[in-house]
Amino acid sequence: MWRPSVNSRPGPVTPDDIARLDRDDPLAARRSLFALPEGVIYLDGNSLGALPKSVPARIAQAVEQEWGVGLIRSWNDAGWYPAPQRVGARIAPLVGAAPDEVIVADSTSVNLFKVLVAALRMRPGRRRIVGERGSFPTDAYVAAGVAELMDAEFVAVEPDAVADAIDERTAVVSLTHVNYKTGRVYDMAGITRRAHAAGALVVWDLCHTAGAMPCDLNGCDADFAVGCGYKYLNGGPGAPAFVFVAQRHQAGLRQPIAGWHGHAHPFDFVHDYVPAAGIDRMLVGTAPQLGLLALEEALKAFDGVDLQQLRRKSEQMTELFIRLADQELAPWGFGLASPRDAAQRGSQVSLTHPEGYAIMQALIARGVIGDFRAPDILRFGFAVLYVGFADLWNAVAALKDVMATGAWQAPEFSRRKAVT
């Protein structure tokens, strides 16, 4: 059940408070960079980021001119060939990495597979992957699959038990920095230090971090990271993912999917595989240019953004949403799945409710788009480049109305869709 926040300021949040927050928002002007449909409050940028306005023209150019007219010549002339490195270098500062430590390739799951196998190979005497029970499922599935393949074991524990589960048997710790359901944030520096002290490596999944809040991979001495291009980075549906390998690990790294684009000289067409010198060895097949170029264009929305301002706005938003929920939703049986301490929270607030699925569908029908995660989570993500404080006010008002009117009980809202 709902427990009001002990951190809430006394007194109700007023429309004046909201207006002041929007007026004082240094990132407010970024919203104009995005094409948001009329009548929609979009709080699902943690599932699929909104469309940056400049992307359609960029993709039209890529399709009609670069593909249609340039044809094969565009691999050289339009800069397709170095796009994985170029887009990786754009992502690097958002996650505290050097430009030559990040490359865009494949999906998050495939990249996770590559780095987990590589990490196990770096610790041949150890056969344990430690992860979190309750992390995003693909992280668990891929880790279990790698463990089976490598004659290792995958040990998944509760979040609070992770640090203690790391010992001299641990080859690699694989964690999602921000939990997809709750928004809870791991202490990247502390866990990494703990792992290194035990002689283990760490892989950070940054799917709910990159573009949502800063992190400092190199400041934390991180080993590997993976992340997604289609959430807070706004790269579009199924945008390619990124992978980070700390510079110190690159030369010795042996990832298992030895595709030609990871070769030192792919166009020499020699028989034996020789991995490329640096981060390029994480490449496998031909890069998916349409998705890659859309992601590149989308990332321009972050140009010049002060990541500390981004984080401050995100904390203000999650704090405000929780205060509004405290204030407006108390009678309706919601719980709070996200930490009340802003420092432990990513850029989302998750509520729980046994009728969460139908409630979310009813809310979406009113134009407030969040999402549902089984079994009972209503998830609201705040992509601070295009979400304003008034959006949160209106979203909570709509949610209150859905509950007060019983609108969520309409039969059409309980029918499950393929993608929830």
What is the set of active-site residues? 136, 205, 230-231, 379
Query: In whole angstroms, how far apart are CA 90 and each of 96, 143, 206, 232, 303?
Result: 11, 28, 15, 14, 9
| CB 38, min distance to a copy of itself, A | 9
Closer of 162 and 239 to a copy of itself (Cβ) = 239
Lookup: tokens for 31: 């919203």
List, as own/partner pairs, every contact residues 306-314 make where C-beta atoms lie below 8 angstroms and the sequence separation is at least 24, other chains included.
Answer: 306/26, 307/94, 307/214, 308/214, 309/26, 309/27, 310/27, 310/213, 310/214, 310/384, 310/385, 311/213, 311/214, 313/25, 313/26, 313/27, 313/384, 314/212, 314/213, 314/346, 314/347, 314/382, 314/384
Rounded least distance, CB 210 to a copy of itself, Å: 15
Rg (alpha carbons) of the chain, rounded to whole number: 22
Minimum distance between the CB of residue 416 and a copy of itself, rounded to whole angstroms? 8
Beta carbon of residue 257, minimum distance to a copy of itself (angstroms, whole number): 5
Nearer to a copy of itself, 144 or 397 (CB): 144
Between 55 and 220, whose beta carbon lies closer to a copy of itself?
55
Per the CB < 8 A criterion, the answer to whether 250 and 120 are in contact is no
Which run of H or of E encompasses 406?
Answer: none
Shortest Å distance, C-beta 103 to a copy of itself = 14
Whether the link from the prior residue into 375 is cis, omega within 30° of 0, is yes
